[in-house]
Amino acid sequence: MLKPVPVEPVLSVKELYTLYYFHHESGYRFAGESHDFWEIIYVDKGRASGINGTEPYTLEKGQIIFHHPNVFHNFRTDGAPDAEDGADCDIFVVSFNGELEMLEQFRDHIFTLSMHERHLFREMIEEGKQVYDKPFGKNLVYRKDAPHEPEHLPGAKQMIRNLLEQLLISLYRKQQECPAQVQSLPMQSLGMEYQIVRQVVTFLDQNIYNNITFVDVASHFNLSETQLKKLFREVTGYSVMQYYRKSVVGRIEYHIRQMDKNFTELADLFNFSSIHYFSKFYKRETGHTLREYLKSSQDVSLP
């Protein structure tokens, strides 16, 4: 009599958050965010660059990067002057969570995809169109007005999960067997300017609760304000304080989602002089209030 052979998964995707395909024109910039789930950025056409934690990165066509949970990241189009498609960029974004401990070894790495792996992305998009009957270009796995509406085609979300797990296992094998197709960050040869920017980003992250100023940063590194501004923007495409403020907002929202402190305690944690200035800072940076974010984070239900 045959005995069953147990199947022990090496990873498991449990939740889907986003599934997007974007076309971005030359000059597009996304200021950045951090969140408590995993995210993949895949460049289908053009070239993109940004910061992943403390590391600057550049993605060419056919490459992906993983954004780990609670790591600040941003993005901008970065087409080569002689590129066939100009400086426009098409990217695929998928974010998810689950039992994914083995993905920790993907930290600060860029993967060059095989044709099979690229095809898995395209299949995910096609399945995403079948989750809800809605215009393409939206978040294909989530619709806020009706998150529990039945799938347009039964099993579409499960197919996306299966395709994503296939991709993750393929990348894991590639890292083990074909290291030449996996590159550690940063892709750029680390000249002095990149070393300084990495140190600045690390300093900002270490002081995320201290409400520091641009003068504090320049003084710490013994750089003139003009020199620091130029250097940081040339490497990252963003200003020092824009990066810092977005990091602070991301950490504030993390604490709100965890519901581990009230707003007064958060104002004190982030070294604001009062709840009034703390609330004003958050409203200025995000366009909505702390209470609005708290409500939206509680209302969101996954499909």
Question: In a 10 Å sphere around its CB, with 0-12 CB exposed, 13-18 middle and 19+ buried, how is residue 291 labelled?
Answer: exposed
232 in Cβ contact with 239 (< 8 Å)? yes
Q: What is the pLDDT of residue 189?
A: 47
* Cβ contacts of 201-208, under 8 Å, gap ≥ 24: 201/51, 201/53, 201/54, 201/243, 202/54, 204/240, 204/243, 204/244, 204/247, 205/53, 205/54, 205/72, 205/247, 208/244, 208/247, 208/248, 208/251, 208/270
Query: Does the pLDDT at position 297 exceed 80?
Result: no
Angle between helices 192-206 and 225-236 in degrees, nearest 10 = 100
pTM (predicted TM-score): 0.71
Query: Does the pLDDT at position 270 exceed 90?
Result: yes
> How far apart are alpha carbons 122 and 159 in whole angstroms?
12
DSSP codes of every residue in 204-238: HHHTTTTT--HHHHHHHTT--HHHHHHHHHHHHSS
Q: What is the pLDDT of residue 134?
A: 64
> How far apart are alpha carbons 92 and 90 in whole angstroms?
7
Q: What is the pLDDT of residue 182?
A: 76
Domains of the chain as residue ranges with CATH: 12-184 (2.60.120.280), 193-299 (1.10.10.60)
14 in Cβ contact with 60 (< 8 Å)? no
- 180-231: per-residue pLDDT in tens? 667 776 545 456 777 788 788 888 888 999 999 999 999 999 999 998 998 8
Q: What is the pLDDT of residue 28?
A: 85
- 46-93: per-residue pLDDT in tens? 999 888 887 788 898 999 999 998 888 888 886 544 444 457 899 999
